Amino acid sequence: MDGKRSTAIPGGPQSLSRRQFLCLASTWLAGAFAAAGCRARPTTSGGMATPLPPATPAPSQVYPTGQADEFGDVVTPLEKMRQWGNYYEFTRSNQAIGEAASFRMRSPWTVQVGGLVDSPGIFDLDDLRRFGEEERVYRFRCMQAWSMVIPWKGFPLHRLLRAAGPTSEARYVRFESLYDPDQMPGQDVEGANYSAWLSSAGGQAMGRPEKDNPYLWPYAEALRLDEALHDLVLLATGAHGQPLHPENGAPVRLVVPWKYAFKSIKAVARIELVAERPVTFWNHAVPAEMGWYANVNPDVANPRWKQSREMRFLGLESEPILPTLMFNGYASQVARLYEGLDLASNF
Ligand SMILES: Nc1nc2c(c(=O)[nH]1)N[C@H]1C(S)=C(S)[C@@H](COP(=O)(O)O)O[C@H]1N2
Ligand SMILES: [Mo]
């Protein structure tokens, strides 16, 4: 499996030597995460069979940076990342997320943090920068069975949550995107551009709005509080050494690398600590396809396709197909969050 997945990256004479280099470098740094990447890769079948070490990485955790993830999988070029994705406020087409490029960001952009916290607050981008800025290369896997490897820039969400101070009743964290129907045709359900927006994607789209389950704007997502406090979860403000581009969720988005990418909500405007499990955008609109947890799981198929493989976007003419890994390859860090939970029914 090890060889299969890393040599499946055709781009490159660079990939093997790069990987060896990274392994040497990371053995040197001796981070648990990095060291794991230099062992044989986890297999895709069998899921969480092996006993797992304690999961939350230490604050001093060494994450991969640069041109590859901890497995040696090389990063997706920025151009590809800007050309292909999902941004339903603007389009239902994967190929048209560039339409968000005209997005005029509210200035100053603020993220309102509130709900069940001791210290609610409104944070502008400078305030957020004070929580730190680091690069982390993560795999990013959409439920549509495509994936990228992205060098994000951001900070772990738990720093912000700890600063806000969740009260003892707080059980979930709810995230909300910007609501701006003047700029976002998908939100403007009575607007002149709505039918063009609706027909901007066919059957391979994330899912059609159903009569009984219309899209609920603004886009919202949520995590259990213990998930949200995991060190892997980022609030990202950049990628590839640049500020986030509008199409990828500028100015600030969530990144939850072990979950399907629809959990990684773009253009975050509000973060709220709550007691009850929040309704989330895709789980509400298409519950048969998009579960509330949305953990990447090769063993749980989507009604329309298997989830055991993925197309890895590297910007090549022929993109490689790779086996999908349990928890997107982050099982050793996150599986303990789900002990005792039936992952097939709680998809
Ligand atoms: N606000 C908002 N966030 C969103 C989405 C969206 O449509 N609106 N799409 C989600 C989905 S389905 C995916 S696959 C990723 C895509 O991120 P990317 O376009 O930067 O690759 O964003 C997620 N976050
Ligand atoms: Mo997605």
**Nearest C-alpha to atom 5 of ligand 1 is from which residue?**
87
Ligand 2 centre from 170 Cα, in Å? 28
**Nearest C-alpha to atom 24 of ligand 1 is from which residue?**
265
213 vs 283: CA distance, rounded Å = 10
Q: What is the mean pLDDT of residues 256-266?
A: 98
**Nearest C-alpha to atom 6 of ligand 1 is from which residue?**
87
Whole-prediction pTM value? 0.86
Sequence-separated (6 or more) residues with CB below 8 Å from residue 106: 178, 180
**Nearest C-alpha to atom 1 of ligand 1 is from which residue?**
266
CA distances from 49 to 33, 59, 317, 332, 335 (A): 19, 27, 36, 11, 10
Ligand 1 centre from 143 Cα, in Å? 11
Cβ of 160 below 6 Å from ligand 1: no
In 3D, which of 63, 69, 62 has the Cα closest to residue 19? Answer: 69
Classified as helix, coil or strand, 43 is coil
CA distances from 294 to 94, 95, 140 (A): 20, 23, 13
**Nearest C-alpha to atom 2 of ligand 1 is from which residue?**
266
pLDDT digit string, tens, across residues 268-297: 999 999 999 999 999 999 999 999 999 999
What are the backbone angles phi and psi of residue 83, rounded to the nearest 5°?
Answer: -95, -20
DSSP for 122-133, please give it.
EEEHHHHHTT--
Ligand 1 centre from 55 Cα, in Å? 27
Ligand 2 centre from 138 Cα, in Å? 16
DSSP for 230-273, please give it.
STT-EEEEEETTEEPPGGGT-S-EEE-TTB-GGGS-SSEEEEEE
223 vs 234: CA distance, rounded Å = 13
Ligand 2 centre from 29 Cα, in Å? 34
Name the pLDDT band for 204 (thresholds 50, 70, 90): low
Q: What is the pLDDT of residue 57?
A: 55
Ligand 1 centre from 87 Cα, in Å? 5
Which amino acid is residue 338, in one-letter code? Answer: Y
DSSP for 137-198, please give it.
EEEEE-TTSEEEEEEEEEEEHHHHHHHH-B-TT--EEEEEE---TTT-TTT-TTSTTHHHHH
The percentage of residues in the chain with a pLDDT greater than 70, rounded to a whole number, is: 81
Q: Are strands 309-312 and 146-156 parallel, antiparallel or unpaired?
A: parallel
pLDDT digit string, tens, across residues 222-232: 999 999 999 99
pLDDT digit string, tens, across residues 160-202: 999 999 999 999 999 999 999 999 999 999 999 999 998 888 6
Q: Are 64 and 23 in contact (CB under 8 A)?
A: no
Cβ of 99 below 6 Å from ligand 1: no
Q: Are strands 234-239 and 146-156 parallel, antiparallel or unpaired?
A: antiparallel
Ligand 1 atom at minimal distance to the Cα of residue 219: 1
Name the pLDDT band for 56 (thresholds 50, 70, 90): low
Ligand 1 atom at minimal distance to the Cα of residue 248: 20
Cβ of 249 below 6 Å from ligand 1: yes
Ligand nearest to the CA of 302: 2
Which amino acid is residue 18, in one-letter code? Answer: R
The residues placing their C-beta within 5 Å of ligand 2, an ion, are 86, 142, 261-262
What are the backbone angles phi and psi of residue 5, rounded to the nearest 5°?
Answer: -75, -40
pLDDT digit string, tens, across residues 90-116: 999 999 999 999 888 888 999 999 999
Ligand 1 centre from 131 Cα, in Å? 24
